[in-house]
Amino acid sequence: MTPEVQLFTDGGCSGNPGPGGWAFLLRHPASGKELECSGAERETTNNRMEMMAAIRGLEALNRPTRVELVTDSVYVGRGITRWLPKWKANGWRRHARKKTADIKNEDLWRRLDELLSQHRVEFTHVRGHSGHPENERCDTLAVAAYRGMMKE
């Protein structure tokens, strides 16, 4: 799949849980246009912020689009590629120790699932803090977002 857009994302927290931030960089390779966006929450987790970055980036798209989602979050990647289909088949439940259990962050997984159904998304994993320019940029934006909120 040749992507129409590349969506780079990152999220993080100061403490887990604690204040957290998310950020995305959306790039249209054909035109070179880019959109950056970030936000923060006072009490959240790293995984929720990773998910929010992907959600907000996909929400920024105006029409069904082929997307390469580039993230350092194994949680988001496995959720998209492995866990979501099983959870949906099991009525939004997961198997845990021979019984079913609640899905952590179900509200965000459901929203992400809605957005994934509107777009063709391919997941690409990059190592965090490894010098990947767009991942580093998103990390900088996410950290600035929650630090800025903490000063308010």
Hey, which residues are catalytic here?
10-11, 50, 72, 129, 139
- Nearest CA to 88 out of 96, 99, 97, 79 is that of 79
Q: Which residues contact 63 (CB under 8 A, 6 or more apart)?
A: none
The distance of Cα 4 from the centroid of its chain, to the nearest Å, equals 18
Strand residues in the chain grouped as ranges (E): 5-13, 18-28, 33-44, 66-71, 94-96, 99-101, 120-125
* H or E, element range at 37: strand 33-44
